[in-house]
Amino acid sequence: MSIRIKRTEDNASTATERIAIQHLREDGVRKSSRPRRKWVVSGIVLAVLFVLIVVPAGFVALAAVSLDVPRPGNINFDLTFDNFIVLLRPEVGVAFLNSLTVALVATAIALIIGGGLAFLSARTNIPLRRFVYFVGLMPIFLPSYVGALSWAQLGSPNAGMLNIALRDLGIDPFIDLYSIGGMIFVFSMYYSPYTFLLIHSAMSMMDPDLEAAAKVHGASTRQMLSKISFPLVLPAIVGSAMLSFVLIFENFPVAQVLGSPGRIDTLPTFIYRLLNTSPSRGNESAAIAVLLVLVVVIVTWLQQRLIAKRSYTTVTGKGVKPSKIKLGRARTPMFVLVLVFFALSIVMPIVSLLLTSAKTSSYMSSFADLLKPGALDISGFFQAVATPTFLDVTINSVVVSSLAALFGTVLAFAASYIVYRSKFAGRGAIESVSMLPLAIPAVVLGMGLLWTWLVMPIPLYGTLAVLVVAFLAVQMPQGFRGISASILSTDRDLEDSAVMLGASRPRAIQAITLPLMKISILSTFTLLLMLSMRELTVPLFLYTYDTKILSIAIYDSFENGGALQTAASMSLAYTALMFVLSYIPQVLLKSK
């Protein structure tokens, strides 16, 4: 028995793991009669993963307990625990508390938003259900730092457009996004799609008979929801909560955009700042990084324990449509709430970006200013976007992301196939290493990757290739999960029968397994492409002047101030590009 929940993006999926464990039990771990051959294939994959993931992680761990950070030609092994003294500094305590508060509260709100939207669109008679689904999903197309950036335009303490509007209305401006509250607000909106997707698929895959049975045995709709339906989707709720918590806890860009103006540090921004002070204090940042990793590991472990305790075999993948719950008088108010969320998460940020990119004067005291002739000029947008720099960084982004997605998918397929289909040695190690980056915050991994590729005798640093390599490491868990889920749900007999009928193993994979997995391979590719396109933190450590990518360029022009119009224009173009890219694979699939 196993749970089958449609897996998405970052789903911290115990389902996969459980199937895997069960699979292991059925399949057994056999004493090998010929140990040598069983290592060859897995050895190659393991070696690649080792260089990609284990070395950077190891460098951070080493830096945390040694006197100097790894440098070319000099990896320091003078061990010390002095670096951890930094943890006693009050700023670290404050940053830790800030991170914790922001992550906890934002997760709770994201859960309410995502879960609510999932429930409304999956199970109720709300008007325009497909639109509600779209609203739930939409914020995922806006990278969180673009959301933060546009909300900074809207809600910065004085010059924010909302505050200007308030002043126009004669109200004292009170909105301040450069605060803990501001961070929570932005995080909860832009991380709600993760909870939305997970809970939505759990809710729509529930066997309707389970609810019908509750009704038959005398439960009211409310009792049915609270005693049956809700507990059944609990794994999805817990899973998505933990996932959001980890992602928010380790997020760097949003905290940087909204926190630094008000001098509010979170752990990731603090690490980044330590690393960028002069002289750089890499060992101490590594020590704090260890703390960050620890929290993530604890949360992940907790989630596994929570969900593993009970069996939720009742959520099956039948794909039957559950019955719709009537909202009654709440129908309209609920829909209005959906609209409000849509306005806050999508409409207002886009409008603010549009205005910022089209304003001819960077100074604005009242909305009346915008009505003056020549106040708005769309050519500002084109000027920002038509520069050779913009073209260069866009091409860089697309090239790097496509390559990272391509190699990532291939690597994920090789790893998943070895883990779930073969009897090669070292399967456990491959799975653990593939999932390892999940426990390492991007700031930490970025640091480790930087040291790794400075030290490595292969001259990748300073080229686009180093970004591809870094993205491969960062996104390995997502790729591995996506492909694994698909391999596990593809009956292995399909491939074995081809072998029985005379095909060699590689031929059988090529003729049967790959075509059967076409759709999920393509969607994994898309996922990795999107994740690479929006990744900011890791490239921030690795980019050089010649290898700027789009996310970096936007962040740069914003952080360096002054270039707000450029930042806004590029953000708009960027969002549009993401949207287009996400559709290409679907179009390809249909045209075939």
Partner 1 sequence: MQVSINNLTLSYGTFTAVRDFQLEIEDGESIVLLGESGCGKTSTMRCVAGLEVPDTGRIRIGDRDVFNSEKNANIPPNKRNVGMVFQSYAVWPHLTVLENVSFPLRMRGVDRVTIKRKALETLEIVGLAHLADKGASLLSGGQMQRVALARSLAMEPNVMLLDEPLSNLDARLRDDLRLELRRLQLELGLTSIYVTHDQSEALALADRIAIMQNGRIAQLATPVETYRSPASASIARFLGVSNVFPVKRPKGGAHLAELTEFPMAIKVATALRAMDDQSVCLRPESLTIAAREDANAHNQWAGTMQIVAFQGSYLRCTVRLDNGPIVEVLSREESVESLHHGDRVWLSAPPEDIQVLSNDVRIQE
Task: List the alpha helices (DSSP H) in 388-441.
Answer: 388-421, 427-435
Q: Which is nearer to partner 1, 34 or 263 (CB)?
A: 34
Q: Which is nearer to partner 1, 33 or 158 (CB)?
A: 33
Rounded to a whole number of angstroms, the minimum distance from the CB of residue 420 to partner 1 is: 15
Rounded to a whole number of angstroms, the minimum distance from the CB of residue 498 to partner 1 is: 7
Q: Which is nearer to partner 1, 330 or 494 (CB)?
A: 494
| 29-to-25, 194, 423, 432, 590 alpha-carbon distances in Å | 8, 35, 8, 16, 41
Of 256, 147, 282, the C-alpha closest to 574 is 147
Rounded to a whole number of angstroms, the minimum distance from the CB of residue 28 to partner 1 is: 2
Rounded to a whole number of angstroms, the minimum distance from the CB of residue 423 to partner 1 is: 8
Q: Cα(571)–Cα(568) distance, rounded to whole angstroms?
A: 5
Judge contact between 529 and 511, C-beta under 8 A. no
Burial (CB < 10 A; 0-12, 13-18, 19+), residue 119, is: buried
Q: Cα(378)–Cα(590) distance, rounded to whole angstroms?
A: 36
Rounded to a whole number of angstroms, the minimum distance from the CB of residue 515 to partner 1 is: 5
Give the DSSP letter string of 37-83. HHHHHHHHHHHHHIIIIIHHHHHHHHHHTBSS--BTTB----B-SGG
Of 313, 233, 307, the C-alpha closest to 1 is 313
Q: Which is nearer to partner 1, 343 or 494 (CB)?
A: 494
Widest CA span in the chain:
83
Q: Which is nearer to partner 1, 31 or 329 (CB)?
A: 31
Rounded to a whole number of angstroms, the minimum distance from the CB of residue 495 to partner 1 is: 8
Q: Tokens 């028995």 — which residue?
A: 1
Q: Which is nearer to partner 1, 218 or 506 (CB)?
A: 506
Rounded to a whole number of angstroms, the minimum distance from the CB of residue 508 to partner 1 is: 8
DSSP state of 325: B
Q: Tokens 């304003």 — which residue?
A: 359
Q: Which is nearer to partner 1, 127 or 515 (CB)?
A: 515
Q: Which is nearer to partner 1, 30 or 217 (CB)?
A: 30
Rounded to a whole number of angstroms, the minimum distance from the CB of residue 568 to partner 1 is: 46
| 231-to-234, 291, 577 alpha-carbon distances in Å | 5, 33, 40
The SS3 of residue 7 is coil
Rounded to a whole number of angstroms, the minimum distance from the CB of residue 34 to partner 1 is: 8
DSSP state of 319: -
The amino acid that residue 519 corresponds to is I
Q: Cα(149)–Cα(348) distance, rounded to whole angstroms?
A: 12
Q: Which is nearer to partner 1, 280 or 497 (CB)?
A: 497
Burial (CB < 10 A; 0-12, 13-18, 19+), residue 231, is: middle
Judge contact between 424 and 37, C-beta under 8 A. no
Q: Which is nearer to partner 1, 458 or 511 (CB)?
A: 511
Q: Which is nearer to partner 1, 339 or 499 (CB)?
A: 499
Q: Cα(80)–Cα(66) distance, rounded to whole angstroms?
A: 5
Rounded to a whole number of angstroms, the minimum distance from the CB of residue 204 to partner 1 is: 23
| 64-to-77, 82, 189, 291 alpha-carbon distances in Å | 11, 9, 34, 10
User: Across-strand partners of 359?
Assistant: 376
Q: Which is nearer to partner 1, 31 or 217 (CB)?
A: 31
Rounded to a whole number of angstroms, the minimum distance from the CB of residue 161 to partner 1 is: 53
Contact residues: partner 1, CB under 8 A: 27-31, 33, 423, 491, 493-494, 496-505, 507-508, 511-512, 515-516
Rounded to a whole number of angstroms, the minimum distance from the CB of residue 519 to partner 1 is: 11
Contacts 24+ apart (CB under 8 A), 229-232: 229/123, 229/203, 232/202, 232/206, 232/312, 232/314, 232/315
